[in-house]
Structure 1
Amino acid sequence: MAELNGSPIGLADLQALALTNFGHFTSMRVEDGRVRGLDLHFARLQRDCQAVFGVDLDTDRVREFARRAVPASGTCVVRITVFDPGMDLGHVGDDAHPQVLVTTRPAGSLPLPPLRVQSVVFTRDMPLVKSIGLFGSLRHRRNAQRAGFDDALFTDAQSVISEGGTWNIGFVKDDRVVWPDAECLVGTTMELLRQAHPSTAAQVTLADIAGYDAAFATNVGIGVRAISGVDGLALPATHPVIEQLRKEYNEVPGDLI
């Protein structure tokens, strides 16, 4: 389904979204009407609306729109996109009147098989914002897949790791998790795992990866997914800490939308 402000979205509004492509979003995995880290999702929407449009977002209203889309039982992914249908390429500096698009799609079964990733020098525009402008990320994902990998891993010019194409990366050392100390979008799954499992933040370069026991990717769509290789370096496809992280994440109680 696709609803704009609680009503079926029209072709003109979809066209504005497709052609201008300016806005932000969050995606939530909904299980039997509940979402892990629901408050984190709404805090992100509020924060990003200020960053992108310079206006407040009524999250109670957004929650009501999302509630309409959620089935009483089963699992799905609900995406909330905030954009201004009246904004066009020539007048993006006008006062914004952002609207709320809610869409749903099926959720895949978890856990997913390990990822093999290819490193690339790239930094997303406004990396702290979950923007809908995904061209750069998808371009590098496509290039990685064409080269035989599953996805792209972003670094700066000094090979300092920041994040994946649409996911965060973590590293395992003994029984602890190390999150890259770099500018990136802190995902809700990452934040929940930071609360659930002992972790630290440190600068991690591509050369440092060989000194870690394992690595994993995480977001709401994939949960906790092992990374079995970075460029030509092989990593374990399974590890006790990764299994523990999955258990801890699954045990996080969900909030009713």
Structure 2
Amino acid sequence: MAELNGVPVDLGVLQSLALTNYGHFTSMRVEDGRVRGLGLHLERLARDCRALFDVELDVERVREFARRAAPESEAGIVRITVFDPALDLRHIGADAHPQVLVTTRPAAALPLAPLRVRSVVYTRDMPEVKSVGLFGSLRHRRAAQRAGFDDALFVDEESRVSEGGTWNVGFVRDGQVIWPEAEYLTGTTMELLRQAHEHTTEPVRRDDLPGFDAAFATNVAIGVRAISQIDEVTFPETHDVIAALAKKYAQLPGDLL
């Protein structure tokens, strides 16, 4: 389903989003009406709206729209996209009046099979913003899949690991969780895991990968997902720390939408 400001969306509005492609979003996994890290999602929407549109977002109104669309019992992914249909390529600098598009899709059953990823030198525009501009990420994902991998892992010009196309990456060494120090979007799942489990942050370069015991990916759709291969470096498909992270994340009660 798709609703704009709480009513069925008009095709012309979606055409505007497709042609201009300027906006931001968040995706939430809703289970029995609850969302893990709901406050983090709403805070990010408000922050990104200020960054892209220079206006304040009414997050309680957004929450109401999301609640209307969320599945009542089964798990689903609710995506909230904030954009202004009146802005186009010629008038992108006009004062903005952002609108709220809510779409839903079924949620995959967890856990998912481990990922095999290929590293690529790439940094997203404004990596701290969850923007709708996914061309670069999807281009590298497509190239990785065409080469036999599942996805792409981004590294910067100094070979520092940052993030996946739509997920954060973490590592395990000597029983400790290590998050990379780089420019990336801090996902809500990543932030919740930081709050729930002891960790450290340090630069992780491509040449450092053989020194880690395990690797994993996180986002709301996949939860905590093992990474079994990065380029030619292999990791175990199961690890006690990753299992503990997944258990802690699954046990988070979530907030009522």
- TM-score over 0.5 for the alignment? yes
Amino acid at match of 1:202: E
Distance in 1 between the 2:109 and 2:71 partners? 17
- Give unpaired runs (5+ residues) of structure 2: none
Q: Would you say the 8 A contact 1:37–1:188 is kept in 2?
A: yes
Long gaps (5+) in structure 1: none
Q: Report the equivalent of 1:167.
A: 167
User: 1 CA distance for matches of 2:16 and 2:139?
Assistant: 22
Confirm or deny that 1:231 pairs with 2:220. no
2 CA distance for matches of 1:46 and 1:195?
A: 21
Where do 1:201-212 residues align within 5 Å? Answer: 201-212=201-212
**CA deviation string 1:204-230 (max 9, x = no partner):** 001111111100000000000000001
CA distances 1:144-166 after superposition (whole Å, capped 9, x unpaired): 00000000000012210000010
Does structure 2 retain, via aligned residues, the 8 Å contact 1:215–1:226? yes
Whole-angstrom distance in 2 between the partners of 1:166 and 1:44: 15
CA distance in 2: counterparts of 1:176 and 1:97, whole angstroms: 45
Read off the aligned partner of 2:55 and give its amino acid letter.
V
> Do 1:217 and 1:225's aligned partners in 2 also have CA atoms closer than 8 Å?
yes
1:200 deviates by: 0.5
Q: Is the 8 A contact 1:176 1:197 kept in 2?
A: no
Aligned partner of 1:117 in structure 2 is 117
Question: 1:142 corresponds to which residue?
Answer: 142
Once the 2 structures are TM-superposed, how far is the Cα of residue 71 of structure 1 from its aligned partner? 2.2
* DSSP 3-state at the match of 1:131: coil
Give the deviation of 1:180 after TM superposition.
0.3
RMSD of Structure 2 on Structure 1 (CA): 0.6
Deviations 1:43-89, CA, capped at 9 Å, x for gaps: 00000000011100000100110110012211000000000011111
Distance (Å, rounded) in 2 between the aligned partners of 1:122 and 1:100: 30
CA distance in 2, matches of 1:232, 1:202: 22
Q: Does 2:60 match 1:60?
A: yes
Number of aligned residue pairs: 257
State TM-score, norm by structure 2.
0.99
What is the alpha-carbon distance in structure 2 between the residues aligned to residue 49 and residue 176 of structure 1? 35
TM superposition score normalised by structure 1: 0.99
Trace 1:183-194 onto structure 2 (pairs within 5 A).
Answer: 183-194=183-194
Which contiguous aligned blocks of 4+ residues in structure 1 show a shift greater than 3 angstroms?
none
